[in-house]
Chains A and B, each alone.
Chain A
Amino acid sequence: MAWEYVAEGVAGALTLVVNGNRELFDIALRSVKVSGIAAMLAAMIGIPIGVALGLSGFRGKALIKSMFNAMLGIPTVVMGLILYLFLAPAGPLGFLGLIYTEMGISFGQMLLILPIVVSFTASSIESVEEELKDLMLTLGANRVQAMLKTVEEAFSGIVLSVIAAFNRAIAELGIALMVGGNIFVRGGELNTRVLTTSIQMYVARGEIEFAIALGTVLLAIVFAVTALSNYLQRRWVSE
């Protein structure tokens, strides 16, 4: 009995996935796009900060690093709430017009995952630097050459940090819900419904099949990205 209910849901979901349901595809694509942009933005901002943190040795460095580390685990609902308050038109950043838009979600997720990129980048730079710096300097490299080489050696770690960041972004619900608003208009061009928000909505509406289908797609994306990251890691390590 109990399993029939689950099995029916899964079977219905698979039919939806296999038949290439338009709405499903639309939502999945939006998820990838929104979180992909968030990961790109986080990379553009986070990698330079991480590299600078990793290479430098100033006094407050430990403090700044621990701040970013602390922000790694920030609950997405709290982040969503804070962003909602800031981005609502009555809030201090309301003039940006980001509330209930795709760009708003990307912006919020970018802030959410920035600490991941910064922390992981800084750590991989540091671990490479300790091993290499003295060696390179004794081999006759100047400081700039040594730095470039360090960044190059740490590159795999940096790419992996961006991948991990993307996975966190696409899987989060709080920001997408509170900043995005789960808006859907058939044929609309400004929809903000993504995988996580639609899963929670369809569960609330009791339309379990569609929710399972969406969940399956989300899992597939996360697993595929993780597999890619594992593959890259192995390749780099073997070299």
Chain B
Amino acid sequence: MYGNAYRGDPMKKVAVMVIAALIVAVSALEIQYRNQSEIRTLTVSTTTSLYDTGLLEEAIAPAFKERYGIELHFIPKGTGAAMQDAKNGVSDAIMVHARSKEIKFMEEGYGVNRKVFAYNFFIIVGPEEDPAGINGLTPVEAMKKIVQAGRENRAVWVSRDDGSGTNTKEIALWKMAGFDYGQIKNESWFAATGTGMGATLNYASTKKAYTLSDSGTYLKYRNEGLIDLVALVDSGEELINVYAIILISPEKFDRDFEGAELFANWLTGEEGQRIIEEFGKDKFGRSLFYPAVDVIKDQKEPYFSWIVKYGMIEDNGKITECPERFRYGDGMSFFEFG
């Protein structure tokens, strides 16, 4: 067969290439495996609002790694999905902002040692022209106006509709305004994105629609010129947005509880709080998230009462960030008020 004379060489070359590739693949796997067993990591499922601003990856993770040599792996999902992730045993801790869901999560036995670490505000944003005329109204009044304008085809509302903390707040606001979320979400002026905060803001901007956003993500997107929406309703205690970290119960999953505790204590400690305060100041002229610990400790009004009302939990006549039945071990301390 005459082909052999030609084919012999390239065949050999290919064989050498294949063997070399195999060696590379196996050694890459080996290195990866060794790294994986040597580097201490914490997996933290988190809300997209914290993540989309860059706070976690750009500020928190590098500082924590420098301090303790532990890598923080953040998985951005809505609050609901972050909790589902944790229930699948993926995470060491969750960073979320929906008290009602947090309580349920802890009652189911998955979460312990809840600490409030930051707050900011939800805002209702919309197009400059403000077709529903909500500028400066109270949140509840604004929601009513939007429904009215929506039904007259003058306005569009965009909802995350993803079980996130922002979505949970939105549902609560609809309820305060006297509407049933399950019902109005089927109306024609009501759009649901089912995605994160950033993507939802982009969508609302394109559609000239109203939506509820956390102030951090909004500020970042606004200042970088990514969206064309203005903050129309940004005051009212019901708009406070309280972020908490919850550790995964070591009784449910054998994760790095000690490491998670270290992280929670660091985050609510001096360095963590300072980083939260500083983040965004250089770029946006103000903080995207406010550190919560000093406000709670010194009972700074009015934010202290708002955090108590919307971010703390009642426990046998006391108000606390983490009821006693959800505490585990003695590595952390919690605020309690009679």
Contacts and interface: CB of A to CB of B under 8 A. Distances in A.
Given A33-B28, A94-B89, A204 B43 contact: no
Interface string A65-82: 000000000000000000
Given A41-B25, A186-B62, A103 B36 contact: yes
Contacts of A182: 75-76
A41 B52 CA distance: 35
Interface string B96-109: 00000000000000
Chain B interface, >50% SS class: helix
B251 interface: no
B88 A89 contact: yes
Given A40-B22, A185-B62, A190-B73, A206 B10 contact: no
B188 interface: no
A205 B35 contact: no
B49 to A, nearest CB: 12
A183 interface: yes
Contacts of B87: 90
A97 B36 contact: yes
Given A99-B90, A181-B75, A206 B36 contact: no
Contacts of B65: 185, 187-188
Contact of A155 (B14, B41, B253): B14
Interface in A96-119: 97, 99-103, 106
Contact of A90 (B11, B76, B88): B88
A181 B32 CA distance: 16
Contacts of A37: 25, 28-29
B262 interface: no
Contacts of B24: 36, 40
B4 to A, nearest CB: 9
Interface in A33-69: 33, 36-37, 40-41, 43-44
Given A185-B65, A206-B224, A91 B88 contact: yes
Interface in A189-239: 189-190, 204-207, 235-236, 239
A171 interface: no
B11 A88 contact: no
Interface in B158-180: none
B57 interface: yes
B72 interface: yes
B74 A183 contact: yes
B58 interface: yes
A41 to B, nearest CB: 7
Interface string B12-53: 001000100110110011001101100101010000000010
A228 B285 CA distance: 51
Interface string B49-80: 00010000110011001000001111110000
A33 B32 CA distance: 11
Given A37-B28, A97-B36, A185-B61, A190 B71 contact: yes
B61 A190 contact: no
B32 A204 contact: no
Given A40-B21, A152-B11, A206-B227, A190 B35 contact: yes
Contact of B221 (A94, A206, A236): A206
B7 interface: yes
A186 B57 contact: yes
A10 interface: no
Nearest to A239: B6
A41 B18 CA distance: 12
Nearest to A89: B89
Contacts of A188: 61, 65, 71
Contacts of A239: 3, 6-7, 10
A183 B201 CA distance: 23
Given A88-B90, A89-B88, A186-B57, 6 more contacts: A37-B29, A44-B22, A103-B29, A186-B58, A187-B65, A190-B39
5 contacts: A43-B18, A186-B58, A206-B201, A236-B10, A239-B7
- A-B pairs, top 7 by smallest CB distance, nearest first, are A89-B89, A206-B226, A88-B88, A40-B25, A90-B89, A204-B199, A183-B73
